Amino acid sequence: MSDVTSVVGGAWTPAVRFLRDAAGIARSVRLGMAMQGLVKSDLSPVTVADYAVQALAGKRLGEGWPDIPLVAEESSDGLRGEQGAPVLELVTRFVAKLEQEATPDLICAWIDRGGQDNASVFWTLDPIDGTKGYLRGGQYAVALALVRDGIPVWGGLACPGLAEDGSPDAMASGLLVVAGRGQGAWAIPLDQDPSDSASWRALKVSRCADPARARLLRSVERSHTNEAQIEEIAQRLGVRAEPVLMDSQAKYVSLAAGAGEILLRLLSPDRPDYVEKIWDHAAGWIALTEAGGRVTDMNGRDLDFSQGRLMRSNKGLIATNGVLHDAVVQAVRQVTGFS
């Protein structure tokens, strides 16, 4: 395994610092808007945070890697004009705390860097992954990955609601995780200086090989998965513990840190044709695989990040500590009929 500095230092420093600062913005937006009573539907904290984090990404990544496009979900269309002015004003105010030159016009330009098309090399960002968790004070993540020729080669996640051991704890200082292809996955508390290489620790998955002792993670929102099938799969595997309910790619980090063994995201009966998006998995994928885990879709196929913004070649998700993967895939096939 390489030294942590090859993943968090040198050329990667701007991306690491962006993740830490982005988590700070997300926290500031949620707390600041709540204190000011700005929680109307047209001034949702998650809307402001999404735009603010993507604007910061457009600015920072554009400076550090001007020739590499950013692929993300938001555009400034909803901010332009009279109706979007209150949101744009708030976004500008929060971003200006870190980037003093921020103006409404610059904010829109920075956000729109995320509308670029995929190339052979590109960044992909989910500014606030886990919107419901963010709003309820639970799990969410800022997720960034660099994809080259259809494979994430570097990724990072800022997870404000995770404890140092990777377990969910909304009161914890949070965890910053980065991973590089062939260079391992590393974590540091969000409140520590990421330039202190001695404070980073290598992440390793749990080596639990007994399904009965496994901890299974799934989405809090029932509309994001198939709860009934997950319960049947757990019974087939003999899993005894109650599922751990978490939002966002923070679940990947929990598995990478050894705080769980199985993660399932099945097709919801309400959305049987749902197609996963690359920014929902790229950063988590590299963090978990570099920690020794394994990720496939429900058919046991590797995730394909080369098909544009949508992962049309894959259905659902199975992520494990690796040791249990084949047994979980078999149980999923038996219950869902996928093969």
The residues that are catalytic are: 50, 131
User: Which tokens is 234 given?
Assistant: 């757990």
SS3 content of the chain, % helix, strand, coil (to 5): 40, 20, 40
- List Cα–Cα distances, 100 to 27, 53, 95, 104, in angstroms: 19, 15, 8, 12
Residue 195's Cβ-side half-sphere holds a number of Cα atoms within 13 Å equal to 6
Category of 259 on φ-ψ map: left (φ > 0), alpha (ψ -120 to 50) or beta: alpha
Is the four-CA dihedral 5, 151, 109, 81 of positive or negative sign?
negative
Helices (H) and strands (E) in the chain, counts: 10, 12
Q: Report the interhelical angle of 104-112 vs 85-95 (nearest 10°).
A: 90
> From CA 214, how far away is CA 205, in angstroms rounded?
12
For residue 219, CA distances in Å to 68, 99, 172 come to 32, 34, 20
Tell me the C-alpha to C-alpha distance, in Å, between residue 321 and each of 52, 235, 290: 34, 19, 11
Angle of CA points 333, 335, 339, to nearest 5°: 20
Residue 237 has a CB neighbour count (10 Å cut-off) of 20
